[in-house]
A and B are shown apart, each in its own frame.
Chain A
Amino acid sequence: MQKIAYILLFLTTFVQCNTCEDCDPIAEEPFLKIRFYKAVDSSRSIVIIDSINHIWAGDYSYYQDTVNTYTLPLNMHEDSSNFVISYRDTTDLSTMLTNSLNVIYDRSYVKRTDNILLQELNIIKATSDFETTNLLCGDTLNITCISNDALYQVYR
């Protein structure tokens, strides 16, 4: 009986090995959202983004427009990201507009409760050649903002 118990103990030691069921890379990159408004009355301005950094936007699923808000993934290899955004206003689809956006941030790792390790960016500054902008963090305007909670608002 004693020996059987020990053998079973050995076996349970082996059983403790867990298999990796989902070890592939994940698309959980940090991002900044951008939304367009009309400058005259701050109502939503519906635009169609054609390309980001000269790459056809339709190739990417991550920043498709759902509620007139686009998601711009941030570069995890550097402390800044530059975007060249080409877009058209739905009121004049024949005119292609282009503006640039620069985002500066600090990078750090955070771990979610499901043991997925992510980069969290502390956005220090967001500048662009849009006429009027502000950075919204959650419900309040702020100078700095944590990625994924940040919304860059463009009034044009």
Chain B
Amino acid sequence: MTRSIKYIVSIGLLVCAINALAQDSLRVETVDSLQRQTKDSTDINIADLLKTMSPYSAISNKEDTLIVAISDTLKIEIADSLTMEEVDTTALPENGENYFSILIGTDYGKLITTLAQLDTRYEFNLGIQFSKSLRATVDYGYGELAPPNAIENGTYTSSGNYYRVGLDYMFTLAPKTFLSFGGMYASSAFNDEGTVEIESEIWPSLKERFTRNDFAANWAEFVLTTEAPILNKNKGFFSNLYWGIKFRLRFMIDRPVPENFDVYAIPGYGRTWNNVVPTANLFIVYKL
């Protein structure tokens, strides 16, 4: 029951985070557009203004007012009397810009659990952005999972390495704010070990250690990713630093099923109680 409540609370918070991301990205978009309109030299004409506003579009021009569509639901009216200044436009890709970039990241949620000594887990991510919408990703991680309730009358630890490879298709929700869908193939090589204690009244009580080696598991993942800059900066280190959440739906392909008792947890996959496992990861990534 307690576990179910925690799960529901976690899901709720994740939904809140998505909403927060979406709202922040919309706000950034608005501010950025206004900056473009309110900073520039004195006399401008509508044509010049339209050039500076790409990729946004002017939907009408009535009398002295330009109406600009920022999104489907947000439109801004800009009086012709506004003044404009030169601004840094590198934050927004121009048509024909080279989108190629390399991304280096990590799962900071796992780092937190490691620092909190709940489990020992870390994961690093390497991505290559080929185009505006396509990105290849490779993940490598290590996990040492010790679920406290895996064996009630003993201890249990599952440890090993895992990797994932996959592709993401990205949608730009707003400048520097992305939503992507992707698929990954994952594999884990791991061992498990533990102890068991069983009391006896006649014979010596049993306190035994067990170790099982050379396990391998493979699974596929459907991944939904939200991604936005940590700070709304156009220049400097933080302009390329992003964070976000990955929602994963894992589908087990094959895993070991030992004779005596089942594997309880697989590094990179998690608990083995179901062949379809939803999960979420917090990540931070730097774009080179």
A contact residues vs B (CB 8 Å cutoff): 1-2, 4-6, 8-10, 12-20, 22-29, 52-53, 55, 60-62, 72-77, 81, 108-111, 114-119
Contact = CB atoms under 8 A, between A and B. Distances in A.
B20 interface: yes
Contact of B261 (A16, A61, A73, A110): A110
Given A1-B23, A15-B6, A28-B153, 16 more contacts: A10-B112, A12-B10, A14-B116, A17-B116, A17-B148, A18-B148, A25-B198, A25-B205, A26-B197, A27-B200, A29-B206, A77-B203, A109-B196, A111-B260, A111-B261, A117-B151
A28 to B, nearest CB: 6
Contacts of B196: 109, 117
B282 A118 contact: no
A10 to B, nearest CB: 6
A111 B94 CA distance: 61
B9 interface: yes
Contacts, number: 134
A155 to B, nearest CB: 25
Interface in B91-130: 109, 112-113, 116, 118
A137 B51 CA distance: 88
Contact of A12 (B6, B201, B262): B6
Contacts of B21: 2
Interface SS majority for chain B: mixed
A77 B118 contact: no
Contacts of A27: 198-201
B200 A73 contact: yes
